Amino acid sequence: MNRLIKLSFGAGAFALALLMTAPDAAGETFAIDAVHSTAIFGVRHQGAGRFYGRFNDLSGTIKHSEGDDSDLAIELTIAVASIDTGSGKLDGHLKSPDFFNEREFATITFKSKSTKKTGKDMYEVKGDLTILGVTKKITAPVEWLGTADGRRGKKCGLETQLTLTRSDFGMSYGVEGGMLGDKVKITVALEAGAGGRDRGAKRDAGTGLPKRLAQRDKNGDGKIQKSEAPERMKQAFDELDANKDGALDAEEVRAARGRFGRGSRNREL
């Protein structure tokens, strides 16, 4: 139980924050590559050590113009269901109402509002971080790691490290009595590719759903009914339906991808 608690609050919930969207930038758009990106959190446990965990499902975009030092915009969404501590029991506790309340708040998001270059390859990024439905303005120091041309086209990368106070977002479990720290160290490292494609799944531009799932959306409402869902999704459909409207929207599908896996083993998600 104590281990569970540690994790939950470091949770990249905050880490995610660092990377989200920004104002309309005229620069090149890169889609976050979840396979090569990570959000890691660390929190003190019982006043002694520090416990670490991560989120595996990150998506969003980075906009950057090499000719304009102030032109950097980040949009990041993290699926709470993808929290990974190495313990299924602990993961379940962190998804519960004690911590991230995944049923009601399936994602953590960050949207940048302004950026300022502060040094060589360093930026000050201000934006809105939303966790548990609570939005706070934060400022993150971001290191621009550069761009490169690879086999899959042009890529870019950046990283940020900061400390957040989890109780600011209504996550206070374990703080009283010192069982779990209130301050959480966050590291978010993002790699993204040009062309606006998420390597995890190609999405339908009109619905935000992965294209294979969008083809199942017979009534065209941008949601997947239980009868339209793949068999492996049906098994946990009611649990995935966070807003309990009888259908899965794009955000709920994103959370399902974090739970069921990505890539060739699960092409529909």
Domain ranges of the chain: 2-194, 211-266
Segment 36-74, tens digit of pLDDT:
999 999 988 888 888 889 999 999 999 987 766 668 999
Give the global pTM: 0.66
Q: Do domains 2-194 and 211-266 have the same CATH topology?
A: no
Segment 79-133, tens digit of pLDDT:
999 999 888 888 898 899 999 999 999 999 999 999 999 998 999 999 999 999 9
Q: Does domain 211-266 have CATH number 1.10.238?
A: yes
Per-residue confidence band for 207, with pLDDT thresholds at 50, 70 and 90: low
Cα dihedral 234, 239, 243, 246 sign: positive
Q: Does domain 2-194 have CATH number 2.40.240.10?
A: no
